[in-house]
């Protein structure tokens, strides 16, 4: 049994299994996380390394962040909500620890390839499933947004992130002359899935990263400029001529509302139900962000936030202040990960989180690792519009791949892993 638990092939099975489970049901990913963590504890015991493993920055920063959230949350009063949050946020620690203990450098390509194969299979199934529904008489809306991913119970915006990373991985593999036709086919399927998932921010970020990739490899050439321009034109035309996508993008960039929060109840603007129904996606994010940050400062909680236990209660109270709750946006986050972190854990918590992000960028930059840097840019940009780390699926996706790339860069010293031309 000890030999089996130490076997690198078993470790590859666990990490690859976790990567492949990310696009599907969360219960599969949870099973791999638990088993990987237990095996990691066994390896620590066998190697007699003890708690020294926690001193490595790859794991130390997530552990420190989690401990801060725990201590900060204990100062509040809603312990039921706190324990739910802490239980979910424990993934901040479990995933980096497991990857750190099990990862070997020769796993790198295999894990990325298996992730794309899993994602390709799921995306193909979704496309086929919705095509069959359409043929049977369903409306064309079955192809788009939440209805596109309804079969697997996944949020379309989260699935867009997986697809975007899948495209970037396949492009990286093509550049390395690996399974060119297979990766080209997967890029096509992932692009269709991304188009139907209809996440505005992820589509725009993916287009920018693809063009950056084409330029970064060896500078601008006529061929690459033509390819990049063609990609933009095709997506532009497809969005402009598709009523659903066109409306999604129009709503996403519409901002025509005059709102400023106040600490005087008699001066507060109270939204009517009719006005709330007309609020665009962008307007909602700006309104919730303004409410969150304004009252955080006014309540003199900027340094430490409202606490992980209480922040949602405070937000709901102030939403009600402006007529946005209880029947509309009660329980909503500000839809911005940075603002949500600030509100829940203050400037201190936001600093620790940004320190971890900054360290990740630094490690990717000194290695010149395009794929890792693209992943970070993609996720950091996406966090401006969504609170991905409030859901277990978002936590698993980010911390698995960020830990995966961090540890790979720390172990790999070969120059050929760098694929940004110096």
pLDDT, residue 251, reads 67
Ordered alpha helix ranges (H), 198-336? 200-218, 222-240, 243-253, 273-277, 281-298, 311-321
pLDDT, residue 421, reads 35
What's the gap between Cα 171 and its chain centre?
20
pLDDT, residue 51, reads 62
Comparing C-alpha atoms, which of 35, 48, 68, 10 is closest to residue 350? 68
- pTM to 2 decimal places: 0.91
Comparing C-alpha atoms, which of 376, 371, 343, 342 is closest to residue 358? 376
Q: Write the burial class of residue 218 (CB in 10 Å: 0-12 exposed, 13-18 middle, 19+ buried).
A: exposed
CA dihedral 381, 385, 388, 389 (to 10 degrees): 90
pLDDT tens readout for residues 271-303? 988 888 888 888 899 999 999 999 999 999 999
What gap in Å lies between CA 58 and CA 359, rounded to an integer?
9
**Phi/psi of residue 160, nearest 5 degrees:** -60, -40
Q: Write the burial class of residue 328 (CB in 10 Å: 0-12 exposed, 13-18 middle, 19+ buried).
A: middle
pLDDT, residue 222, reads 58
Tens digit of pLDDT per residue, the chain (422 long)? Answer: 788 888 999 999 999 999 999 998 788 899 999 999 999 988 888 776 556 776 777 888 999 999 999 999 998 898 899 999 999 999 999 999 999 999 998 999 999 999 999 999 999 999 999 899 888 888 777 778 888 888 888 888 999 999 999 999 998 888 887 888 899 899 989 998 998 887 888 988 998 898 777 777 655 555 555 655 666 677 677 776 777 777 777 766 778 888 999 988 888 899 988 888 888 888 899 999 999 999 999 999 999 999 999 999 999 999 998 999 888 899 999 999 999 999 999 999 999 999 999 999 999 999 889 899 999 999 999 999 999 999 999 999 999 999 999 999 987 754 334 443 33
Mean pLDDT for all residues in the chain = 87
Using alpha carbons only, how large is the chain's radius of gyration in Å? Answer: 22
pLDDT tens readout for residues 69-122? 999 999 889 889 999 999 999 999 999 999 999 999 899 999 999 999 999 999
């Amino acid at each position: 049994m000890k030999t089996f638990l130490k076997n690198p092939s078993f470790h590859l099975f666990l990490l690859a299994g976790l990567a492949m489970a990310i696009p599907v049901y969360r219960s599969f990913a949870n099973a791999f996380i638990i088993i990987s963590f237990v095996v990691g504890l066994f390896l620590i015991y066998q190697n007699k390394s003890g708690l020294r493993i926690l001193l490595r920055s790859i794991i130390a920063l997530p552990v420190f962040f989690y401990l801060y959230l725990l201590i900060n949350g204990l100062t509040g009063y809603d312990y039921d909500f706190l324990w739910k949050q802490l239980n979910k946020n424990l993934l901040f620690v479990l995933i980096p620890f497991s990857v750190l203990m099990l990862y070997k450098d020769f796993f790198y390509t295999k894990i990325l390839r298996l992730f794309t194969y899993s994602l390709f299979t799921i995306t193909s199934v979704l496309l086929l499933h919705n095509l069959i529904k359409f043929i049977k008489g369903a409306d064309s809306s079955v192809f788009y947004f939440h209805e596109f991913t309804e079969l697997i119970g996944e949020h379309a915006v989260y699935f867009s992130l997986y697809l975007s990373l899948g495209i970037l991985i396949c492009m990286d593999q093509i550049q390395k002359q690996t399974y060119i036709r297979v990766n080209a086919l997967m890029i096509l399927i992932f692009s269709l899935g991304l188009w139907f998932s209809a996440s505005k921010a992820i589509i725009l970020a993916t287009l920018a990263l693809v063009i950056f990739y084409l330029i970064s490899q060896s500078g601008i050439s006529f061929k690459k400029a033509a390819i990049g321009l063609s990609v933009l034109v095709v997506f532009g035309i497809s969005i402009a001529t598709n009523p659903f996508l066109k409306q999604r993008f129009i709503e996403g960039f519409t901002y025509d509302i005059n709102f400023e929060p106040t600490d005087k109840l008699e001066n507060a603007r109270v939204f009517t139900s009719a006005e709330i129904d007309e609020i665009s996606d962008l307007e909602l994010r700006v309104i919730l962000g303004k409410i969150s940050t304004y009252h955080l400062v006014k309540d003199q909680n900027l340094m430490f936030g409202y606490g992980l236990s209480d922040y949602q209660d405070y937000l709901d109270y102030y939403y009600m202040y402006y007529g946005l709750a209880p029947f509309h946006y009660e329980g909503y986050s500000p839809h911005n990960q940075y603002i949500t972190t600030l509100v829940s854990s203050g400037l201190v918590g936001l600093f620790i989180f940004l320190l971890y992000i900054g360290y990740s960028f630094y490690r990717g930059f000194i290695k010149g690792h395009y794929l890792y840097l693209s992943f970070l840019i993609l996720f950091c940009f996406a966090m401006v519009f969504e609170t991905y780390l409030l859901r277990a699926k978002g936590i698993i996706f980010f911390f698995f791949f960020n830990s995966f790339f961090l540890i790979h860069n720390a172990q790999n010293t070969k120059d050929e892993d760098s694929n940004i031309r110096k």
